[in-house]
């Protein structure tokens, strides 16, 4: 579980802080190991929440309301909500995705609050028995893992829910205009098939869901005109090329999926490599 949690942290500070927290915890000769671990993990979760839920994005969500006594204040629970669902409405998350996030958020906040109790060093939280240390560490690990797993679950469920809309948007993009990278290879080209192989959500913010798509375009390359072909002077060759593109949909209407302008990229390098090898 620890290895899975670590993969979700950014390279650099977050991974280093996580490693330092585990190193502190492993030093059983240090009576402050739980206190040091608790402080490091509390700060790490705070840093991750701020990275995943920037202030300016959270306050623009339709579901946001100020539940603090500060101007434009944001609670940890609201940051956790944003990290999972961005600006997606609760009704879409619960009714369409059938994802219950309340318990996960509650466990995360409970774990963070639990860590806070041990950052103020008092006799009752100093040099605790091994069993108590293990209990708190397990609770914290499970809560952080559950939170991070829920983010991934939400993105997977969004993709599953919108798959047909995503697939249609990709096909529309590849068919609506000439693909210059392919068109440069022959006199004409005709797209026959578009396969969507991989879809990932790389961001859900206060206004949009942003997807990255990978796949393959099957096409025919034609040299010469149709008249040339009839005379036997032209040629037609089937080919396939990998492509990537980006899509987006508004959080208030996720089914309205469209392509990000100029994001379609077709990799025709295999064509030139084949020619070179010959």
Cα separation of 42 and 38, whole Å? 6
Answer for the pair 52, 154: CB distance below 8 angstroms, yes or no: no
Residue 140: both structure tokens together: 């914290």
User: What is the pLDDT at residue 128?
Assistant: 82
**Helix/strand/coil (H/E/C) assignment for every residue in 32-87:** CHHHHHHHHHHHHHHHHHHHHCCHHHHCCCCCCCCCCCCCCCCCHHHHHHHHHHCC
User: What is the pLDDT at residue 247?
Assistant: 94
Q: Give the chain's residues under pLDDT 50.
A: 276, 278
Cα separation of 203 and 272, whole Å? 34
Answer for the pair 97, 201: CB distance below 8 angstroms, yes or no: no
User: What is the pLDDT at residue 71?
Assistant: 94
pLDDT tens column, 147-195: 888 888 889 999 999 999 999 999 888 887 778 899 899 988 899 999 9
Decide: helix, strand or coil at residue 100.
Answer: coil
Q: Which of 11, 12, 14, 77 is nearest to 40 (CA)?
A: 14
pTM of the predicted structure, to 2 decimals: 0.81
Cα separation of 7 and 18, whole Å? 11
One-character DSSP codes across 166-205? HHHHHHHHHHHS--HHHHTTSSEEEEEEEEEEEEEEEEE-
Decide: helix, strand or coil at residue 222.
Answer: strand
Can you give the C-alpha Rg of the chain in angstroms? 26
Cα separation of 115 and 113, whole Å? 5
User: What is the pLDDT at residue 47?
Assistant: 92
Q: How far is CA 12 from CA 15, 18, 19, 176, 183, in A?
A: 6, 10, 11, 42, 43
Dihedral of CA atoms 103, 109, 114, 115 in degrees, nearest 10, equals 130
Residue 265: both structure tokens together: 């990229």
Cα separation of 97 and 2, whole Å? 27
User: What is the pLDDT at residue 228?
Assistant: 80
Decide: helix, strand or coil at residue 236.
Answer: strand
For residue 71, report the phi and psi dihedrals to the nearest 5 degrees.
Answer: -65, 130
> For the chain, which residues make up each domain, given as ranges?
2-158, 159-277
Answer for the pair 66, 99: CB distance below 8 angstroms, yes or no: no
Residue 167: both structure tokens together: 């697939």
């Amino acid at each position: 579980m620890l290895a899975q949690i670590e993969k979700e942290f950014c390279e650099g500070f977050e991974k280093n802080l996580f490693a330092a927290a585990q190193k502190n915890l492993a030093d059983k000769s240090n009576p402050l190991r739980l206190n040091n671990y608790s402080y490091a993990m509390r700060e790490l979760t705070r840093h991750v929440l701020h990275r995943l839920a920037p202030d300016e994005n959270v306050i623009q969500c339709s579901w946001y309301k100020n539940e603090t006594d500060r101007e434009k204040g944001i609670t940890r629970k609201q940051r956790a909500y944003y990290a999972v669902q961005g600006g997606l409405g609760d009704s879409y998350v619960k009714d369409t995705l059938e994802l219950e996030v309340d318990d996960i958020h509650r466990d995360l906040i409970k774990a963070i609050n639990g860590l806070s109790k041990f950052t103020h060093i008092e006799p009752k939280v100093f040099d605790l028995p091994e069993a108590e240390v293990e209990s708190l560490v397990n609770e914290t690990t499970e809560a952080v893992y559950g939170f991070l797993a829920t983010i991934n679950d939400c993105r997977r469920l969004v993709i599953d829910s919108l798959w047909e809309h995503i697939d249609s948007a990709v096909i529309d993009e590849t068919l609506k205009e000439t693909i210059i990278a392919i068109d440069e290879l022959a006199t004409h080209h005709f797209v026959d098939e578009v396969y969507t192989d991989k879809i990932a959500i790389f961001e859900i913010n206060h206004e949009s869901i942003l997807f990255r798509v990978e796949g393959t375009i099957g096409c025919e390359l034609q040299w010469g005109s149709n008249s040339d072909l009839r005379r036997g002077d032209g040629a037609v060759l089937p080919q396939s090329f990998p492509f990537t593109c980006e899509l987006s949909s508004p959080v208030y209407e996720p089914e309205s999926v469209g392509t990000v302008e100029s994001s379609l990229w077709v990799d025709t390098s295999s064509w030139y490599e084949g020619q070179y090898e010959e």
